[in-house]
Amino acid sequence: MKIVHLEGNAVNPGDLSWDVLDQFGDVTVYERTAPEDAVARIGDAEVVLINKTPITAQLLDQCPNLRLICVQATGYNVVDCDAARERGVLVCNVPAYGTNAVAQFTFSLLLELCNQVGHHDRMVHAGKWCQCPSFCFWDTPQMELAGKTIGIIGFGKIGRAVGKIAKAFGTKVLAYNRSRCPEGETIGQYVDLDTLLENSDIVSLHCPLTAETKGLINAQTLAKMKVGAILLNTARGPLLNEQDVADALSSGKLRGAAVDVVSSEPMLPDNPLLTAPNCIITPHMAWTPVESRQRIIDCTVNSIQGYLNGKPVNTVN
């Protein structure tokens, strides 16, 4: 069996191994692949591994041997799943590989907004504390999480993990989700979106990108939020109308925002969040601990094994 990985560098920039795939046959790993090169590189392969490379109906028509697409991510919107199903091609994703990592990173962003630890470290190294007449020094407002309310939009595995951490800080949890589950009921209170926006000191996004959620945070929904609220996005960039968020930061409607994802990645130099005040931006890295990336490889192996055994797992089409 021939296996081609079009984007090996995304999951494994060199600190992990692809050797585990060799048990299945002939494996070729490319670090990166431009969309226009995908057809030639897939060729007559039976299995392709991707991360963000688009798999269209046209590509599938030109790669008739393809039978399994392994998306090494949870989101699979880059694949035309209907076209794949019509052609008998299975599509598998990697569910729940980075739940703890993303929840941890969400709080890294939140705590940085609350305490500005990095900023104060830089100030100390610049000599500001040495020059201070008092025994202590700070030049940004400090915020305590205990007693605050966090509203979590998207209360799946990651959202619930964030909720559990929030409770440990003494923070009340509100949740907005399409469905409810018993575990979620023990973590937070399910409410409608308007109630969440109006009552939350912190709003954190953990929902998928769909036609309904695109631009979910915009001028209208921001207007419903508390003055001085904090906005977090570790889900998908297009959930935000970025200009509206930048305007809310500039006006003081939002105390701060922190995003790990943006509408176009890599980030474009004219993105309005780049010049917005009190906005932390990280480069889509919440999912990247080595433990999470190893789970992606392990899950991909399981998907290929399930395909070969006639018992597919992690299928999305």
Active-site positions read 236, 265, 284
Nearest to 141 by CA among 120, 119, 115: 115
Sign of CA dihedral 212, 214, 217, 219: negative
CA 58 to chain centre: 28
Nearest to 149 by CA among 111, 175, 112, 114: 175
Q: Contact at 8 Å (CB) between 84 and 59? A: no
CA 87 to chain centre: 30
Q: Contact at 8 Å (CB) between 297 and 12? A: yes
Q: Contact at 8 Å (CB) between 205 and 154? A: yes
Phi, psi of 281 (to 5 degrees): -130, 125
Q: Determine whether 288 is exposed, middle or buried from the number of CB atoms within 10 Å of its CB (0-12, 13-18, 19+).
A: middle
Task: Specify the DSSP element, H or E, that contains 81.
Answer: helix 81-86
Q: With H, G, I as helix, E, B as strand and everything else as coil, classify residue 237.
A: helix
Half-sphere exposure of 301 (CA within 13 A, CB side): 13
